[in-house]
């Protein structure tokens, strides 16, 4: 299954090597096949950002030697409080056993507008003194963390180059790929937990970018890792259906592609047509996926403003591929205007208009002998906006109900799944550093899709459906 996408994907990366060698990181530029790997998926969980961190806390507390946490945004939140409790427990564990300290690395890009404006302008980033941890990041006092070898680092490059990936590595044996930041937003999120060969991909990416070194320190002591499966629908407020759900029991050795996307500065604001984006592994694979879809494309993304994506979806619809999109009408409006010059709402309206224009062309092709192999009917298009049950609530009044969808998920033909940090907006496609993983297999797709569908029930509103208009 993965083979039909592999060669076109590799070809595009090999053809772009002269530009990708300038990227950071770029270790895969001349070895794109090194991104082909496999994953042993343990769990996929859905929920709000705070509930996901609460569900992950037993796994994080089980750390024996090293905990690496990379996120984009860091803010005062329940998620941060959960992590603070984890850090205290890990410190106490190391002190009690009286051996080496537990190595903890916290990496992020953004914590405030002020922090970004005055940030060191280099990919090497900046680190922070222990005396700054409490005031700047709301962490426990260093006196409470004596059992930890803790370092905090941030990287942000003006004007728009945010380091957007989110991942957690426990003892170099387990990796978690969540969509959520360490932040206060009660949004719908997902997180997939993995072991196996995929670990080496995350570690190499981490060491190349965040540690600025080619080789990792010596391997940690061996320890058999037991994955703690998070509870489902735990602590849901009375009368509020929870968005917390868990899928487990995935097949072993799932073929996977590791899909990094280095940051760039690209001021191209063109909406449709010939607009391009950097040829990163994530961008290149998604375009390959859209162009080779045979039946269906399903997308769940916070925003939808990337010109190459919009153009690719129109091409897919024109050749008879069904497209289903769930996005947001009003999420991060100012950020969209600044980074894309437009909004998801406007792009959705334009996409619908251009889709409607495809139908007469499809009808005319019925009598076109040169297009005998082209579908006479365009694909079906269904677009929905996320809406919380019982309406939007103010901050602090959510009671566990997600207010927006922040999950980044693409499914093609029910057989390929892409998860990670990348939105389908201009910022993710042209300027931000991103990270995704593609998984191949109908069973993997089915389990994740069913988990998301169960959690999303009653949390969306259809704005366009070509079958019912």
The answer to whether 441 and 251 have CB atoms below 8 angstroms apart is: yes
- pLDDT digit string (tens) for 238-269? 545 689 999 999 999 999 999 999 998 765 54
DSSP state of 132: G
pLDDT value, residue 266: 61
The count of other CB atoms within 10 Å of the CB of residue 338 is 12
**Which stretches of 211-251 are DSSP H helices?**
none
pLDDT value, residue 222: 63
Residue intervals of the chain classified under CATH 3.30.870.10 are 42-248, 254-465
d(CA 380, CA 177): 31
pLDDT value, residue 335: 72
pLDDT value, residue 229: 59
> Taking the complete model, does pTM exceed 0.85, yes or no?
yes
pLDDT value, residue 223: 60
**SS3 for 167-218, per residue?**
EEEECCCEEEEECCCECCCCCEEEEEEEECCHHHHHHHHHHHHCCCCCCCCC
pLDDT value, residue 371: 47
Q: What is the CATH number of domain 254-465?
A: 3.30.870.10
- The domain 42-248 is placed in CATH, from the list 2.30.30.60, 2.60.40.2470, 3.40.1380.20, 3.30.870.10, at 3.30.870.10
pLDDT value, residue 3: 84
Q: What is the pLDDT along the chain (469 residues), one digit of tens a residue?
A: 678 899 999 999 999 999 999 999 999 999 999 999 999 999 999 999 999 999 999 999 999 999 999 999 999 999 999 999 999 999 999 999 998 999 999 999 999 887 888 788 888 899 999 999 999 999 999 999 999 999 999 999 988 789 999 999 999 999 999 999 999 999 999 999 999 999 999 999 999 999 998 776 666 666 666 666 566 555 555 545 689 999 999 999 999 999 999 998 765 544 444 457 899 999 999 999 999 999 999 999 999 999 999 999 999 999 999 999 999 987 776 677 677 678 899 999 999 999 999 976 554 444 444 444 555 689 999 999 999 998 899 888 888 999 999 999 999 999 999 999 999 999 999 999 999 999 999 999 999 999 999 999 999 999 999 988 6
d(CA 255, CA 7): 15
d(CA 12, CA 288): 9
pLDDT value, residue 424: 95
d(CA 47, CA 241): 11
pLDDT value, residue 221: 66
d(CA 289, CA 316): 10
Q: Cα-Cα-Cα-Cα dihedral of 217, 218, 221, 225, to 10°?
A: 60
Nearest to 301 by CA among 286, 279, 291, 281: 286
Structure tokens at 310: 């919009």
Residues 6+ apart with CB under 8 A from 146: 91, 95
pLDDT value, residue 373: 52
Measured distance between the N- and C-terminal CA atoms of the chain, rounded to whole angstroms: 35
DSSP state of 249: -
d(CA 272, CA 259): 25
**Which residue matches tokens 């002998």?**
369
The answer to whether 110 and 74 have CB atoms below 8 angstroms apart is: yes
DSSP H or E run through 360: helix 344-364
């Amino acid at each position: 299954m993965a083979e039909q996408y592999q060669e076109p994907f590799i070809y595009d990366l090999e053809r772009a090597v002269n530009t990708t060698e300038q990227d950071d990181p770029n270790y895969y530029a001349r070895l794109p096949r090194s991104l082909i790997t496999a994953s042993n998926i343990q769990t996929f969980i859905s929920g709000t950002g705070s509930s996901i961190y609460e569900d992950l806390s037993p796994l994080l507390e089980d750390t024996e030697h090293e905990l690496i946490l990379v996120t984009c945004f860091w803010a005062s939140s329940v998620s941060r409080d959960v992590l603070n409790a984890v850090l205290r427990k890990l410190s106490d564990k190391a002190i009690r056993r009286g051996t080496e300290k537990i190595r903890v690395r916290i990496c992020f890009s953004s914590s405030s507008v002020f922090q970004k404006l005055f940030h060191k302008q280099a990919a090497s980033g900046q680190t922070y003194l222990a005396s700054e941890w409490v005031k700047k990041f709301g962490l426990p006092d260093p006196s409470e963390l004596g059992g930890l070898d803790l370092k905090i680092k941030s990287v942000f490059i003006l004007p728009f180059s945010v380091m957007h990936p989110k991942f957690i590595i426990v003892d170099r044996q387990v990796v978690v790929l969540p969509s959520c930041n360490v932040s206060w937003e009660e949004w719908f999120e997902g997180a997939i937990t993995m072991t196996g060969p995929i670990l080496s991909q995350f570690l190499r990416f981490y060491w190349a970018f965040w540690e600025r070194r080619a080789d990792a320190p010596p391997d940690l002591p061996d320890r058999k890792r037991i994955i703690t499966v998070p509870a489902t629908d735990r602590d849901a407020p009375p009368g509020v259906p929870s968005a917390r759900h868990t899928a487990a029991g995935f097949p072993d050795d799932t073929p996977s592609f590791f899909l990094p996307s280095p940051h760039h500065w690209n001021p191209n604001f063109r909406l449709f047509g010939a607009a391009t984006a950097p040829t990163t592994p994530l961008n290149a694979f998604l375009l390959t996926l859209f162009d080779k879809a045979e039946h269906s494309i399903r997308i769940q993304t916070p925003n939808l403003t990337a010109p190459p994506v919009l153009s690719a979806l129109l091409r897919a619809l024109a050749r008879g591929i069904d497209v289903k999109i769930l996005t947001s009408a009003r999420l991060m409006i100012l950020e969209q205007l600044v980074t894309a010059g437009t909004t998801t709402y406007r792009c959705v309206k334009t996409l619908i208009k251009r889709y409607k224009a495809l139908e007469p062309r499809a009808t005319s092709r019925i009598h076109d002998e040169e297009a005998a192999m082209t579908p006479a009917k365009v694909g079906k298009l269904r677009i929905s906006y996320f809406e919380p049950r019982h309406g939007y609530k103010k901050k602090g009044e959510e009671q566990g109900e997600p207010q927006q969808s922040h999950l980044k998920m693409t499914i093609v033909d029910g057989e390929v799944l892409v998860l990670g940090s990348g939105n389908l907006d201009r910022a993710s496609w042209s300027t931000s550093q991103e990270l995704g993983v593609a998984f191949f297999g109908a069973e993997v797709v089915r389990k994740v899709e069913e988990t998301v569908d169960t959690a999303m029930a009653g949390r969306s509103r259809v704005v366009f459906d070509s079958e019912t208009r």
